[in-house]
Structure 1
């Protein structure tokens, strides 16, 4: 013990470090021996030395009790209950604090990768610990045995999670059995629905008590026709009846049923009325019933509806009546070559040409030109090559009927080659578009007159410049193939035909 104390006194460069390496008991014994050996030097020197050494002892004891060594590493019990020592890769000794309580420590769970240990952290027994010489920090990972067991346990857990427990299988089978009972489920659903709604018989009884009558469309139309034919009905009542009929005849079956009830005759009588309001409403009902309904178209021609409509067009003075009658005529002629043939033979184009010249506002002109364009296009489409007769059994009959419609010759005789270009003077884009399409359709017949008409060529040049600017505006907005570009294409196509 004296030799240790001598080393302590002689090593003055690292005196504090060497003091701290001794335990408190060893340090006290060394101090006593130092005092005994220095008694010969004098009392003052001994007292001063004793006080200084006691001060160092108190500081050492205080720091030892209040702080832990940062280099100390605590090993806790692993989950299997085994103990093991940890070692560094570089061979440094690891201090184990046996007095530490596991509950007060933060236990690090090692993985396959190295993790940095912070001061005060503990590791499970069997972990692999090393000192990183580059960073000066301690690192930990799973030991070889732990890694082998961890991999095996992980694999077993994965296999377990991929299977089903007996309880889960029982629940799944129970659910399948419940799903295989649609009768009970449907019964429950029906019961829930029936609880929300009342039976039909009960509703009928309640309506009968309230004097309410549930009518079908057929019953409604029958009642309306009886009221319309009654001598006691006023003009206003008949207008209301026609309004209800117009709503009903949009359905194909209702329109055909109305004709079978004799309703077509009453509508034609309304066209011959002296009241322009009845004429307008009757024409609207007739046009709605004729739209895309071949059965009604045939019955209308057989009933003389075409002659009645042309008479109203030629004699009526009301603009609204002519507008609705043109709608009915267009509905009657569309895709019906037999009616188109009768239309031409009864002077239909002449009536339209007079109406075209008399119309100053231009609204009727656009309707007339559109109807003529549709008639020309239908004939060209039905007679063009490439159609398969096997797809349509009535194709040959349609071709034969359209061959009797000499529309182009009638257009040339009635002066339509010079009437249609007048629509280009309109400021309405739709009107100009319809006129350009009609001019292109009539080009095989009217081409010579187009070339001799200088005003037509000037109008086309002016319109192209105007619409070209609009096309540039469309392209700026991201519309490369817009509406105005289509009009420019129509103008260019017509100019090509005129210059060839």
Structure 2
């Protein structure tokens, strides 16, 4: 097998005792580019296999490759052809045979199957619980066909000769460079009523359907679900924007159907994640103002949850978007949303967003001390300097809002609140010291988590999750002294 490929090989034994070896290889370095398919007809002249047949075999078997690749087996699967074939032409050169495969011809009674032996397709195989041995007999279809006189007339061959295997193995190496072009494979698949589409073609089709006036709400929801899966790839998200798909997604945010609003926000957030090109295009298209408007108005919880995800994806590592977020009253919108959330889910997402914004600016400022950084980093530092986050947090009362999340019973929510409180400490220290409820919460939580740490240590976890929370509490208490 050549590097970067996964191969499927099958050995076909004919009634004449001759064999065919079929090999289907898939390049793992670019599956969409080439599929290698080979037919080695070492000593039997029978019906030729086309790319159409091999493509069908590949589709049936490719989902087994990942689980079977690299695994060892003490037996081989030999499929006995039940259709007669003609005589073939063999090669002259010989190569050392490494194996001597044996095929057991089943009979009507159960017989023991020894290690290393294989059986024809359709045979019945069982494990004898008394002896621990595998046993085989003819299957129902075989019983109909393999009558006694037919078996005596045709005869059987229990093993391949070394010469036959030598010729077959030689033929495999000779045909390793035989390729079936992708376009030919597509043509063959089309004859099987299979359509091969690239991601770009799929997105174009989905956008046409989304823009169609004949599409129902249910169909649009399914389209958005497919798009959300595709735009996780950076290139696909950028291509979707160049196709005009961003405009369709933003139109979905204005839909009167809450389900379409939710799905559209989900697609947008996924496309924006770690994708600066899409972030810029979305900001230029007015996506931020539209998202903040939805958060500021009466909407179902599930819609606001996905919209909040889209906002966080839009402003993450994007100082210019953060500046616009603050100038459009983003922190005020979030503070009202924080106060209205009784389930703590949105509160946790909001606190996490604030933590990310503060941490990103702090990290950029610290990295700016390195004199060897390039001009693009200097520009990023300049943009972050225009994000007046500290003053906005103080003005909108976040120094008192974030500690409320410590009242949650969820450990994860508490952890995120403690991390946010730590990064906000330089600007909120006076507020912390005058907040008696915060001081009491920290003391109570520390005692509670110390008990949990003792339980972790009993289980052998010296540096467990609860110990980490205690460290966060201790660090915050030190800053407040």
**Band the TM-score falls in, shorter-chain normalisation:** 0.5 to 0.7
Aligned to 1:370: 352
Shift of 1:378: 0.5
1:244 and 2:220 are equivalent in the alignment: no
Residues in 1 aligned to 2:181 and 2:363: alpha-carbon distance in whole angstroms: 55
Aligned to 1:80: none
Shift of 1:200: 4.8
Residues in 2 aligned to 1:347 and 1:229: alpha-carbon distance in whole angstroms: 33
The answer to whether the 8 A contact 1:389-1:396 is kept is no
Residues in 2 aligned to 1:190 and 1:483: alpha-carbon distance in whole angstroms: 58
1:425 and 2:407 are equivalent in the alignment: yes
Aligned to 1:399: 381
Q: Which structure 2 residues correspond to residues 179-194 of structure 1 after superposition, within 5 A?
A: 188-189=172-173, 191=175
* Change beyond 3 A, Cα 1:201–1:273: closer
Shift of 1:192: 6.3
* Change beyond 3 A, Cα 1:477–1:231: same
The answer to whether the 8 A contact 1:389-1:395 is kept is no
The answer to whether the 8 A contact 2:368-2:381 is kept is no
**How many residues are paired up?**
316
Q: Which structure 2 residues correspond to residues 190-209 of structure 1 after superposition, within 5 A?
A: 191=175, 200=182, 203-209=185-191
Measured against aligned partners, the alpha-carbon deviations of 1:173-199 in whole angstroms (never above 9, x if no partner) come to x99xxxxxxxxx9974362686xx966
Gaps of at least 5 residues in structure 2 are 1-94, 97-168
| Aligned mate of 2:366, from 375, 380, 384 | 384
Aligned to 2:253: 271
1:230 and 2:215 are equivalent in the alignment: no
Aligned to 1:451: 433
Aligned to 2:89: none
Aligned residues: CA RMSD: 2.2
Residues in 1 aligned to 2:190 and 2:450: alpha-carbon distance in whole angstroms: 69
Residues in 1 aligned to 2:275 and 2:170: alpha-carbon distance in whole angstroms: 43
Residues in 2 aligned to 1:409 and 1:200: alpha-carbon distance in whole angstroms: 59
Aligned to 2:142: none
Residues in 2 aligned to 1:456 and 1:296: alpha-carbon distance in whole angstroms: 41
Larger Rg computed on CA atoms: 1
Shift of 1:210: 4.8
Moved more, 387-396 or 277-286: 387-396
Aligned to 2:343: 361
Measured against aligned partners, the alpha-carbon deviations of 1:401-449 in whole angstroms (never above 9, x if no partner) come to 0001011110110011111110111000010011111111111111111
Measured against aligned partners, the alpha-carbon deviations of 1:326-376 in whole angstroms (never above 9, x if no partner) come to 111111111000000000000000000000000011100000000000000
> TM-score under structure 2 normalisation?
0.63
Larger relative contact order (CA 8 Å, sep ≥ 6): 2
Gaps of at least 5 residues in structure 1 are 1-173, 176-184
* Change beyond 3 A, Cα 1:202–1:430: same
Counting helix residues as a fraction of each chain, which structure ranks higher?
A: 1
1:311 and 2:293 are equivalent in the alignment: yes
> TM-score under structure 1 normalisation?
0.60
The answer to whether the 8 A contact 1:316-1:322 is kept is no
Q: Specify the SS of the correspondent of 2:372.
A: helix
Aligned to 2:284: 302
Counting strand residues as a fraction of each chain, which structure ranks higher?
A: 2
Residues in 2 aligned to 1:488 and 1:475: alpha-carbon distance in whole angstroms: 14
Q: Which structure 2 residues correspond to residues 73-222 of structure 1 after superposition, within 5 A?
A: 188-189=172-173, 191=175, 200=182, 203-222=185-204
Residues in 2 aligned to 1:205 and 1:341: alpha-carbon distance in whole angstroms: 53
Shift of 1:478: 1.6
Q: Specify the SS of the correspondent of 2:461.
A: coil
1:476 and 2:476 are equivalent in the alignment: no
